[in-house]
Amino acid sequence: MNYFDQLSKAMETVAQHPRAVFMGQAVEYPGTAMFNTLKNVPKEKKLELPVAEDMQMGMAIGMSLNGELPICIYPRINFLLLAINQLVLHLDKLPLYSDWKPKVIIRTAIATDKPMNPGHQHLGDYTLGLRYMLSTVRIRKLINPGDIVRTYQQAMEDDSSYLIVENMAYYGMT
Amino acid sequence: MMLQSVNSLQTEWTVEKLQEFERDIADVFNAGKIRAPVHLSGGNEQQLIDIFKNVGKNDWVFTTWRSHYHCLLKGVPPHELKYDIVSGKSITLNYPKYRILSSAIVGGILPIALGVAWSIKRHCIKEHVWVFVGDMTARTGIFNECGRYALGHDLPVTIVVEDNGLSVCTPTLDVWDEKENETIYVEDYEYYEYDLKSHWPHAGAGKRVQF
């Protein structure tokens, strides 16, 4: 299976969790490449949200505190920057300043400039900057197709939150 | 966003007892025994006592950096709360056991509360979420987004706007160039006004403390 198919398989694997919720824009409605990796996720496990990135991340935190397993999806890492408040100051820091232990799996992607170049605002890899800001959230970059399902399984089983970054340039890679 | 008629958790709390707790904390702070910021409450005792008559034991309370009263009224034992405040946690008091979550970031609690409320509704649980924010927060983008989502989806959450007219020392209405609450639709939320300034400053207890 290629990179893209492995992503689809990983989503099916996570969807088996009884309280998994796939949330974000373009999870129930088409519009991004990621949407096609969610086709086999049951509809009742999807939550299409308005474009409100920081609200989305905060909601994921709250849902996890009540027992859900949110898979919080940002189609591009550029859009995740709009959720830095909830990501860095709440999801990452709550376990440090309190006994609350939120657990969220964040899925995002680095865009590619081929075959179309979306320009500076939609390109770029901000993973290193996020590594400097995050203390408790674990970061994983998906490079090898064979690691994708295992990475999501680890994210499901671990107590920590995970930020999992895929690269759209690899979607066709086997 | 309906108010629940549930029960009072701490009917023994009175205005005088709440004030007495804060005066005790102020004395400890002024004695230089708390090496962290402290935000004291004052002037809103009766309003909060009345609101908490509707807060159930299994309800969730989301609050801010000024949360001593909220914690007491939700059921945190005073000695436990005082210990945590003296330990330096006044601005981020959190008690999973009592379902209290606070954040020292403006508006930070709002979407988290929304997520809890969404989950409660999804599973048809008879619990309610209460969110306490100030008048400046009530004019932020995140407040607008979360209020709109909660109303649209009829989530079991009540947002309480606690209006003391100030954000730190900045007059809220002046900086938004408002004469009164023109830009927040207070009928959609619980709302009360109070006067903190004549009781305590924004931070500390009124004395310059040297460590």
Q: Is residue B44 part of a domain?
A: yes
Say what the pLDDT of residue B9 is. Answer: 53
Decide if A89 contacts B83 (C-beta within 8 A): no
> CA torsion A165→A9→A3→A150, rounded to 10°?
60
* The two three-digit tokens of residue A148, written as one number: 């994708």
Q: Is residue B108 part of a domain?
A: yes
Residues of chain B with Cβ-Cβ distance to A63 below 8 Å are 115-116, 118-119
Does B5 reside within a domain? Answer: no
Residue A105 in tokens: 């799996």
Task: Give residue-wise pLDDT tens across range A19-75.
Answer: 999 999 999 999 998 999 999 999 999 999 999 999 999 999 999 999 999 999 999
Q: How far is B117 from chain A (nearest CA, A)?
A: 8
Nearest-CB residue to B111 (from A47, A67, A86):
A86
Rounded distance between C-alpha atoms, residue B53 and residue B74, angstroms: 10
Kindly provide the ipTM of the predicted complex, given to two decimals.
Answer: 0.97
Q: How far is A49 from chain B (nearest CA, A)?
A: 10
Interface of A with B (CB under 8 A): 47, 50, 52, 54-68, 70, 85-86, 89-90, 94, 97-100
Inside any domain, residue B103? yes
Chains A, B: CB pairs < 8 Å: 84
What are the pLDDT digits (tens) for B53-98? 999 999 999 999 999 999 999 999 999 999 999 999 999 999 999 9
Residue B188 lies in a domain: yes
Q: What is the pLDDT confidence band of residue B2, given thresholds at 50, 70 and 90? A: very low
Among A63, A82, A94, A96, pick the best mutation site for testing chain B contact (most B Cβ within 10 A): A63
On whether residue B43 sits in a domain, the answer given is yes
Range of the domain at B68: 24-29+39-136+151-193
Q: What is the CATH number of the domain that holds B173?
A: 3.40.50.970
Q: Is this model's pTM higher than 0.90 or not? A: yes
Q: Does B46 fall in a domain?
A: yes
Total structural domains within chain B: 1
